[in-house]
């Protein structure tokens, strides 16, 4: 924009006016017009009356960090539209306080088979209880995060949406249920939901937006970084039935940073064998067009062609209309048993469709999602690198060899010198204590050891004085003691105070980390009473539950607590961020 030739402004003033005008929103321009009109009328600046901002509560419950990040995006977008946004973590709040929230946006994930995020469990139970007050003055909308590979897709978001309505709240915008590829539906929900609330005004007097400056390249989930693989080592010894890889990737020149406790996302590619099997089962040609790619190229990098769940089968049967499949799906328990160990190709072969078109087939498929791996390094120790600990998944089920898509992509396809598309995923729910004098206890069997390698490297680099106790478990001492020499060096140097191991197959009776916790219960209780933080990483279905129970038992046996008091103690430990888990 330029000022008219007849402008009474000096050349310098004209330049300033033009630069400012180019940065103004319509609301800012209207306010500035009134501001200068006041100067012309009175000879001095006259500020417009302040406009009260509409308050907006952004409530989130997050397990892996997605809902937490998106809640921050909601607050930023709301702020730009003139709302006064307040972000509330379910882990740090009481549900009854919602009665004070006139405008409410909820972003909440569902974990596993229909559970709330761990940190939001107490909030969810209070919210669903009879003690919850009425919310007649609350206007709301819900964004639910989930995964259609699980039976109870987005259950917690649906529960919040339904409960808010039953408590008298006014739903101003319909709930959106997001699958793992959540960016697009979330963006549409956010735009629509913000428009549905009472209008917000841009407060006058705010500084105009700065002129746009070309930004440095930002690498994230939408724009992954092509990282060179610089090292790949099998950690298991000869004789092990496992294949656990230590992987090192270069970050040189990327500007990317991470913290211990974060994860690295990797975009994998499907195996040629799986692509060929799917093409054979559908009768489609590899060279058929799928957008701007061939079908084979699209199946390699764009679509999930292995996952199988009841939700996928239901969608599939809307196309094939198989009476046999409909009967099988009606028996929910029986069908879940049938799909165990099977993949999409088994569904295609068992309930075939006579004639597939590219669009109808790919329309059934989910996008090929990235896989997240706990980071096994500290950037203070390895400034231009990120390390991972990856177990290559290989098995035979129903007379067919199966593999983990991403783990074997790294193991078999990405050679040293090749690149993989990666991005960082922050996890603020899994962090070392800020105070380096605080002791920590870490429980990480198998590849659950990864973040604790990062923790120990970080504490060593920071010369932390706090004690460190590591519990590690696997099958055999001789074959499966991951990073053994590193742990022994840390013990020798005093960085690692205690190392307790459990090798389940080295004796007749299987011994796991939870058994070692019980054996050392008195000392663990003493550490926790002295302020220690307790961390768990690994399998959620059994190990993490058994470790949780071991802590409850320790509180009762060595702390003298009742079962009810032990549960309350562990809940308080979690709320104080002294009990953190990264489980999957």
Confidence of residue 149 (pLDDT cuts 50, 70, 90): confident
- Tell me: pLDDT of 213 over 90: no
Tell me what pLDDT residue 239 has: 93
> Is residue 408 included in any domain, yes or no?
yes
Residue 26, in any domain of the structure: no
What is the extent of the structural domain holding 261?
225-268+370-425
Q: Which of 460, 534, 445 is nearest to 490 (CA)?
A: 460
Which tens digit of pLDDT belongs to each residue from 102-142?
999 999 999 888 899 988 999 999 999 999 999 999 999 99
Residues 358 and 376 in one domain: no
pLDDT of res. 457: 98
* Mean pLDDT (whole number) for 421-425: 97
5 inside domain: no
pLDDT at 34: 53
Domain count, the chain: 4
Which of residues 311 and 142 earns the better pLDDT score? 142
| Pair (392, 339) in one structural domain | no
What is the CA 482 to chain-centroid distance, rounded? 26
Is the pLDDT reported for residue 461 higher than 60? yes
Residue 25 is predicted with a pLDDT of: 55
180 and 118 in a common domain: yes
Asked if residue 202 belongs to a domain, the reply is no
CATH code of the domain covering residue 230: 2.40.30.10
Last residue of a domain, one of 314, 342, 362: 362
Helix pair angle (183-196, 66-80), 10° resolution: 40
Same domain, 263 and 276: no
Pairing type for strands 293-294 and 289-290 reads antiparallel
In this structure, are 173 and 140 located in the same domain?
A: yes
CATH number for the domain spanning 319: value is 1.20.990.10
Residues 410 and 461 in one domain: no
How confident is the model over 157-185, as pLDDT tens digits?
999 999 999 999 999 999 999 998 899 99
Is residue 33 in some structural domain? no
For residues 63 and 48, which has the higher predicted lDDT (pLDDT)? 63
Confidence of residue 30 (pLDDT cuts 50, 70, 90): low
One domain, residues 280 and 348: yes
Cβ neighbours around 17 below 10 Å, total: 15
176 and 303 share one domain: no
Which pLDDT score, from 0 to 100, does residue 16 have? 61
Q: What average pLDDT does this structure show over 549-564?
A: 98
Does residue 164 belong to any structural domain of this protein?
Answer: yes
Domain boundary (400, 425, 450) is at 425
Q: What is the pLDDT of residue 207?
A: 39
- Are 296 and 172 within one domain? no
- Say if residue 237 is in the same domain as residue 382: yes
Residues of the chain with pLDDT > 90, as a percent, come to 81
Q: Lowest-confidence range among 18-22, 40-44, 293-297, 461-465?
A: 40-44
Domain-ending residue, one of 178, 196, 214: 196
Tokens at 457, concatenated: 């490297």
Instruction: Read off the CATH number of the domain in which 513 is found.
Output: 3.40.50.80
User: In this predicted model, what pLDDT tens digit does every residue of 434-454 receive, in sequence order?
Assistant: 999 999 999 999 999 999 999
- Confirm whether 480 is domain-assigned: yes
pLDDT tier for residue 303 given thresholds of 50, 70 and 90:
very high
Task: Please report, in angstroms and rounded to a whole number, the separation of the first and last CA atoms in the chain.
Answer: 55
Higher pLDDT, 333 or 216: 333
Mean pLDDT of 232-251: 97
Contacts of residue 140, defined as CB under 8 A and 6 or more positions apart, other chains included, come to: 103, 104, 105, 106, 164, 169, 170, 171, 172
Kindly state whether residues 281 and 263 are assigned to the same domain. no
Residues 2-20: tens digit of each pLDDT: 444 455 666 556 556 655 5
278 and 257 in a common domain: no
Give the C-alpha separation, 112 to 545, whole Å.
13
Mean pLDDT of 548-569: 97
Domain-located, residue 6: no
């Amino acid at each position: 924009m330029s000022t008219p030739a007849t402008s009474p402004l000096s050349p310098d003033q004209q330049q300033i006016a033009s630069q400012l005008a180019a940065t103004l929103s319509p609301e800012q321009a209207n306010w500035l017009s009134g501001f200068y009109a006041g100067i012309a009328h009175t000879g001095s600046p006259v500020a417009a009356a302040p406009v009260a901002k509409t308050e907006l509560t952004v409530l989130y419950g997050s397990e892996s960090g997605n809902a937490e990040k998106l809640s921050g995006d909601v607050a930023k977008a709301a702020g730009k539209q003139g709302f006064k946004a307040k972000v509330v973590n379910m882990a740090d709040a009481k549900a009854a306080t919602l009665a004070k929230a006139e405008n409410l946006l909820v972003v909440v994930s569902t974990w596993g088979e229909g559970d709330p995020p761990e940190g939001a469990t107490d909030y969810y139970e209070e919210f669903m209880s009879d003690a919850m007050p009425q919310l007649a003055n609350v206007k709301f909308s819900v964004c639910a995060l989930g995964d259609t590979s699980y039976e109870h897709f987005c259950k917690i978001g649906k529960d919040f949406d339904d409960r808010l309505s039953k408590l008298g709240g006014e739903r101003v915008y319909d709930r959106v249920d997001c699958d793992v590829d959540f960016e697009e539906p979330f963006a549409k929900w956010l735009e629509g939901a913000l428009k549905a609330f009472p209008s917000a005004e841009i407060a006058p007097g705010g500084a105009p937006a700065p002129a746009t400056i070309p930004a440095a390249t930002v690498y994230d989930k939408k724009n992954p970084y092509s990282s060179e693989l610089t090292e790949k080592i099998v950690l298991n010894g000869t004789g092990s039935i496992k294949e656990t890889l230590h992987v090192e990737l270069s970050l040189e020149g990327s500007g990317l940073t991470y913290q211990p406790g974060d994860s690295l996302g990797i975009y994998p590619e499907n195996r040629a064998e799986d692509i060929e099997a799917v093409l054979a089962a559908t009768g489609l040609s590899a060279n058929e067009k799928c957008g701007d790619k061939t079908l084979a190229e699209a199946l390699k990098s764009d679509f999930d062609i292995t996952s199988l769940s009841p939700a996928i089968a239901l969608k599939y049967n809307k196309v094939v209309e198989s009476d046999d499949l409909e009967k099988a799906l009606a028996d929910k328990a029986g069908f879940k048993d049938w799909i165990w160990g099977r993949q999409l190709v088994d569904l295609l072969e068992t309930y075939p469709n006579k004639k597939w078109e590219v669009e109808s087939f790919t329309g059934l498929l989910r996008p090929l999602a990235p896989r997240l791996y706990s980071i096994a390094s500290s950037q203070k120790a390895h400034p231009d690198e990120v390390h991972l600990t990856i177990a290559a998944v290989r098995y035979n089920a129903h007379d067919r060899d199966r593999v983990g898509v991403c783990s074997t992509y790294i193991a078999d396809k990405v050679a040293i010198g090749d690149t993989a598309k990666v991005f960082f995923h922050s996890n603020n729910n899994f962090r070392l204590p800020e105070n380096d004098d605080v002791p920590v206890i870490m429980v990480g069997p198998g590849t659950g050891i990864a973040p604790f390698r990062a923790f120990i490297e970080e504490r060593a680099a920071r010369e932390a004085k706090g004690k460190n106790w590591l519990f590690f478990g696997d099958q055999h001492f001789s074959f499966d003691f991951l990073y053994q020499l590193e742990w022994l060096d840390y013990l020798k140097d005093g960085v690692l105070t205690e190392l307790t191991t459990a090798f389940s197959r080295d004796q007749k009776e299987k011994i796991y980390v939870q058994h070692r916790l019980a054996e050392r219960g008195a000392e663990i209780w003493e550490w926790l009473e002295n302020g220690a933080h307790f961390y768990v990483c690994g399998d959620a279905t059994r190990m993490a539950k058994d470790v949780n129970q071991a802590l409850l038992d320790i509180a009762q046996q060595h702390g003298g607590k009742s079962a009810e008091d032990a549960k309350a103690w562990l809940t308080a430990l979690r709320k104080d961020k002294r009990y953190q888990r990264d489980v999957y």
